[in-house]
């Protein structure tokens, strides 16, 4: 109902909302797998702060909901152009590149929404950035579980059938110094958009013979019945008989990636 640049939000929660960052596949899945649960704890601190401090809206009613959106000027005029080569290379190689577009906190739920950067051929036969919807995750305080409420897999990554155009004219409103300072902060983060070829050689994997049979995560009861929660993957190792017959292996799958015991 009200728009304000004064966001009553605890610093701990704000630090876990990566607005302005370009999220490679690895960074995106790392965030979904390891930071969403921490997001719950920090969100509860913000809800407690609202209650104890008596923060109100402009009409003096209690503050009970907060929606934050990404800054279009910063992302499309500062952050994305800085990583043009890396983003272009990743998309050309078939990797998906995302950014956080919205964060919602209310007394009943938390939602995080991601958009995806894609490439579109322009009139000069050059590529330009466009973006599409991607993933939305929701956590309800009543069922205490993160669930995907929207997963959109639009292909191809280049020249998608539907897309939105980024802004082309910056609207800094005299905040150039502030934007540049935040860009320097983003630049100070590890650059994981471009993954070197030798990266995968440095990743330790668990030998298959050390895995133990265990129960795989319970499937979600939401609308997407094929989705298994992406956090805390556990593997179910095949029996020696099945391994010796056809070298079978079992996998635990998330929204669009699977981890297998091999």
Q: Would residue 241 count as lying in a domain? A: yes
φ/ψ of 244, rounded to 5, equals: -75, -25
Rounded CA gap, 113 and 65, in Å?
16
Q: Would residue 200 count as lying in a domain? A: no
Same domain, 133 and 19: yes
SS3 62: strand
Structure confidence at residue 245 as a pLDDT band (50, 70, 90)? very low
State CA 114 to chain mean position distance.
Answer: 5
More confident residue, 117 or 233: 117
Q: Would residue 128 count as lying in a domain? A: yes
Q: Which of 42, 29, 79 is nearest to 253 (CA)?
A: 29
Same domain, 34 and 164: yes
Element (H, E) at 259: strand 258-260
Element (H, E) at 110: strand 109-121
Rounded CA gap, 72 and 68, in Å?
12
Q: Which of 124, 157, 186 is the last residue of a domain?
A: 186
Q: Would residue 227 count as lying in a domain? A: yes
Same domain, 142 and 66: yes
Q: Which of 155, 186, 217 is the last residue of a domain?
A: 186
The per-residue pLDDT for range 121-136, each reduced to its tens digit, is 988 778 999 999 999 9
Domain limits at 233?
205-262
Same domain, 35 and 154: yes
Element (H, E) at 177: helix 176-187
Same domain, 259 and 213: yes
The pLDDT of residue 260 is 74
Residue 5 has pLDDT above 70, yes or no: no
The pLDDT of residue 190 is 74
Residue 209 has pLDDT above 70, yes or no: no
User: Maximum CA pair distance of the chain?
Assistant: 70
The pLDDT of residue 248 is 55
SS3 260: strand
Same domain, 249 and 125: no
Same domain, 137 and 81: yes
Q: Which of 122, 152, 186 is the last residue of a domain?
A: 186
More confident residue, 146 or 214: 146
Mean pLDDT for all residues in the chain: 78
In order, the DSSP letters of 45-56 are HHHHHHHHHT-B
Rounded CA gap, 179 and 169, in Å?
15
Q: Would residue 198 count as lying in a domain? A: no
More confident residue, 204 or 16: 16
pLDDT over 70 percentage in the chain:
72
Same domain, 142 and 29: yes
The pLDDT of residue 118 is 95
Average pLDDT over residues 182-195: 78
Same domain, 158 and 250: no
- Overall domain count for the chain: 2
Q: Would residue 71 count as lying in a domain? A: yes
Q: Which of 143, 107, 135, 110 is nearest to 38 (CA)?
A: 110
The pLDDT of residue 60 is 83
Q: Would residue 67 count as lying in a domain? A: yes
Q: Would residue 5 count as lying in a domain? A: no
φ/ψ of 84, rounded to 5, equals: -55, -50
């Amino acid at each position: 109902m009200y728009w304000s640049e004064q966001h009553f939000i605890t610093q701990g929660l704000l630090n876990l909302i990566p607005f302005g960052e370009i999220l490679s596949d690895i960074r995106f899945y790392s965030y979904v797998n390891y930071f969403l649960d921490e997001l719950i704890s920090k969100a509860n601190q913000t809800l407690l702060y609202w209650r104890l401090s008596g923060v109100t809206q402009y009409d003096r009613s209690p503050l009970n909901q907060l929606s934050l959106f990404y800054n279009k000027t910063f992302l499309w005029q500062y952050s994305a152009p800085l990583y043009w080569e890396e983003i272009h290379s990743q998309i050309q190689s078939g990797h998906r590149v995302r950014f956080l577009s919205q964060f919602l906190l209310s007394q009943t739920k938390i939602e995080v929404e991601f958009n995806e950067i894609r490439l579109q051929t322009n009139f000069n036969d050059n590529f330009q950035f466009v973006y599409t919807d991607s993933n939305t995750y929701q956590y309800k305080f009543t069922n205490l579980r993160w669930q995907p409420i929207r997963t959109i897999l639009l292909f191809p990554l280049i020249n998608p059938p539907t897309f939105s155009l980024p802004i082309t004219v910056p609207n800094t409103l005299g905040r150039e110094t502030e934007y540049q300072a935040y860009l320097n902060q983003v630049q100070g983060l590890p650059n994981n958009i471009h993954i070197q070829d030798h990266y995968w050689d440095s990743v330790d994997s668990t030998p298959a013979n050390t895995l133990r049979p265990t129960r795989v995560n319970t499937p979600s009861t939401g609308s997407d019945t094929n989705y298994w929660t992406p956090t805390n993957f556990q593997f179910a190792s095949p029996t020696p008989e099945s391994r010796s017959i056809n070298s079978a292996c079992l996998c635990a799958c998330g929204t669009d990636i699977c981890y297998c015991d091999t």
